[in-house]
Amino acid sequence: MTVTAEHIREKLTKDLGAVHVDVEDTTNNRCTTSFKVLVVSPQFQGKPLLQRHRMVNTCLAEEMKEIHAFEQKTLTPEQWDKQNAQ
């Protein structure tokens, strides 16, 4: 399976109910498949950072087998709005 930024975006949007997902394919900067993602989901509300990251990792468990480097930032919609207001 070839993992693409669009595939990751669609899966996170569908499975985590994300209201905003940015996926950057950083493979060109490295020797193997790598991605940087920003996920904004109401499902993160009240959850600590580690639990949010586990939710993303669980959602992408099959894809992670093909990904060498994965950087993620997870926010609630409220955190996203506050960050964009600054």
Tell me which fold the domain 3-78 belongs to.
Answer: GMP Synthetase; Chain A, domain 3 (3.30.300)
pLDDT score of 40 more than 70: yes
Report the pLDDT averaged over residues 62-71.
Answer: 94
Kindly report, residue by residue over 10-33, the tens digit of the pLDDT: 999 999 999 999 999 998 866 689
pTM for this model (two decimals): 0.91
Q: Strand, coil or helix: what is 58?
A: helix
Contact 27, 38 (CB under 8 A): no
User: Distance between CA 59 and CA 45 in Å, rounded?
Assistant: 17
